[in-house]
Amino acid sequence: MTSNNPAVFLLMINGQIEAADFPEYDDLYCKYSFVYGHDWAPTSGLEEGISQITSKGRGSQSLVWNFPLDITFKSTNPFGWPQIVVSVYGPDTFGNDIVRGYGAVHIPFTPGKHTRTIPMFVPESTSRLQKLTSWLMGRRPEFTDPKVVAQGEGREVTRVRSQGCVTLQFNIVTKDMKKLGYDTTSIEHSPERTPQQL
């Protein structure tokens, strides 16, 4: 691993799905999964996860999960940089478990601590009648695959409604990116190098 000519670079992500803000809903849980390109492979950690159900605190509006994320990717190509797809579910008035929001965000590519707030949205019913029946039957429209929110293809056919937002926190560590010629740190942020490193 300490070779001078690395073949892959590593992206280590740990962080957490901190909280969500869904003004109308309560008792939500969320699922996350990572979407990445062909040139990426997870080396350790969980690619997918599902959180506990969380309720709003008294007087507070946000739903706090503090659900940890920890994954390391290796890759040869920044193309297809990982994205995290978060989908939030919760019960409706009849107790049916329905989706409350989908959202995705790219993993930040600069090392350090980042906080991201993802706006969430759900697909809309195709018609009023559909909306009514889906409300009645507790079967709202869902994406066939939550990962579609991480891509642009096929989205033109959908109509969505925004729902709330989820806040994530990432701590990013990268390795060997610079050696492979990808410099993601801006000049003013790059840490001072000690002579030994040079």
Partner 1 sequence: MSSPSNVREKMRKKRRELQESLGRVRDDKQALVPSDWDLSRDSEHTAVEELAGGEEDPGETLRRSVMAKRMKKKKKLLKERTVESPPDEEVTAVPERDRPDDDEDDDGQPVRSPRDLPPRPVMRPGSSQSEASMRQRMTEKLRAAKSKAASLLEQESIIEPASRLQSLRDRETLTRFDRDTDPDLRADEDSSFTARLKFRDVARRATKDIRTEAGLPTAEEAYNFFTFNFDPEPQQQRPRKKRRPGRRETEEGGEGESGEEDGEDEEEGEEERECEGEEESEARDEDAPLVRDEEEDLFIIDQSAQDFLEVRRAEYMDYSRRLQRERETLFVPSMRTVPASSKLAENVRPRYLEEEGLYVGERPHVCLTNQNILENRILKQGEGRKWFGDDGRILALPDPIKESSSRPPLFHLEDELDPALQTAYRKALKSKHVNLYISGMGDPQSDYQLDVDVSGLIFSHHPLFSREHVLAARLAQLYDQHLTRQHKSITRLLTDKLNGLRNTIHNMLELHRGEALSQVTQQRMAEYKQEVRHTRQLRDVEQEKDRALLKSIIRVWKELKALRDFQRFTNTPFKLFVRREKVEREQDEQEYENDIVAEVEELQAETEEDYQKKMSEYRRQHEQWKSWKRKQKVLKKKQKKKRQQEEEEEEDEESEEELGEEPEKPDPPEKPDMGSLEEQVREKAARIRRKPGEPVLIPELTVSGPVTPNEQCPRAEFARREDVSKRALFIKVLYNDKEVSRTDSRALNMDFRVHFGQIFNLKIVNWPESIKLQVFEGVGSSFTLLVEVCVPVPESSVLTGSAASEEMEFSSNQRVTFNHEGVGSGVPFSFEADGTSTQTLLTSGKLSCCVSWAVGEDDVPLAPPSSQPAGGMYSGIGQMDAIACIGASSLNDRKKLGKWAAESRLDPNDPNNTSIMQLLSVVSGGDVAVPEYFRLEQLQEEFNFVSDEELQRSRRFRLLRLRSQEVAEFRHFKCVPSMEREISQNVFQDYEKRLKDGEIIDTKEHIDSHRALVAKYLQKVRESVINRSLIAKHHFILSDVVSEDEVPSIGVLGWNLFKLAEPKRPLKPHRKERKKVTAQNLSDGDIRLLVNIIRGYDIPVRRHYASKPPVSAKSGRSFTEPFTGPVSSQGSEWPFGQPLIRPFVEVSFQRSVLQTSTAEGPNPCWNEEIVLPFSAPNGDYSSTSLQSVRDEVFINVFDEVLCDVVEDERERGNTIHTRIERHWLGSIKIPFSTIYLQSRIDGTFKVSTPPVLLGYSKERSLGSEGGYDTIRSLSEGTFLSLFITIEPQLVPGDTIREKFDSQEVERLLIASEVFEKEASRHFPDRPCLSTVIDINGKTVFATRFIRPLNPPQELLDAFPNSPQETAQFLTLLAGDEEEHAVLLCNYFLSMGKRAWLIIGSAIPEGPTAYVLTYEQNRYLIWNPSTGQHYGQYDIFCPLQAIGCLINSDNVWFNIQPYAAPVRMSFDVSKPKLWKPFFSRSFPDPGLSSVQPEALVYRHTDKAAAVELQDRIEKVLREKIMDWRPRRPTRWNRYCISTLRQFLPKLELSGGREVAEEHRLELQSLLGEYRISGFPLHLPFSEIRPIIEAVHSTGVHKAEAPNVEFALAVHVHPYPGNMLSVWVYIASLLSAH
Under the binding rule (CB under 8 A), the answer on residue 119 touching partner 1 is no
The least CB distance from residue 24 to partner 1, in Å, is 21
The least CB distance from residue 5 to partner 1, in Å, is 8
The least CB distance from residue 140 to partner 1, in Å, is 8
Q: Are the beta carbons of 33 and 17 closer than 8 angstroms?
A: no
Q: Are the beta carbons of 176 and 132 closer than 8 angstroms?
A: no
Under the binding rule (CB under 8 A), the answer on residue 83 touching partner 1 is no
**CA–CA separation, 1 and 74 (whole Å):** 12
Instruction: Scan for tokens 């062909």, then name that residue.
Output: 38
For partner 1, the closer CB: 15 or 123:
123
- Per CB under 8 A, contacts with partner 1 among 4-23 are 5, 7-9
For partner 1, the closer CB: 44 or 126:
126
Using CB under 8 A as the binding criterion, the count of chain residues that bind partner 1 stands at 37
Backbone CA torsion sign across 156, 158, 159, 165: negative
User: Could you tell me which of 123, 47, 130, 34 has the C-alpha nearest to residue 85?
Assistant: 34
Under the binding rule (CB under 8 A), the answer on residue 126 touching partner 1 is yes
**CA–CA separation, 60 and 39 (whole Å):** 42
Under the binding rule (CB under 8 A), the answer on residue 53 touching partner 1 is no
**CA–CA separation, 63 and 28 (whole Å):** 8
> Phi and psi of 61, rounded to 5°?
-100, -15
User: Which one of 143, 163, 165, 170 is in contact with partner 1 (CB under 8 A)?
Assistant: 143
For partner 1, the closer CB: 117 or 134:
134
- Per CB under 8 A, contacts with partner 1 among 149-178 are 153-158
**CA–CA separation, 24 and 22 (whole Å):** 6
Query: What is residue 156's DSSP assignment?
Result: G
Return residues touching partner 1 (CB under 8 A).
Answer: 5, 7-9, 38-41, 75-77, 79, 123, 125-127, 129-130, 133-134, 137, 139-145, 147-148, 153-158, 180
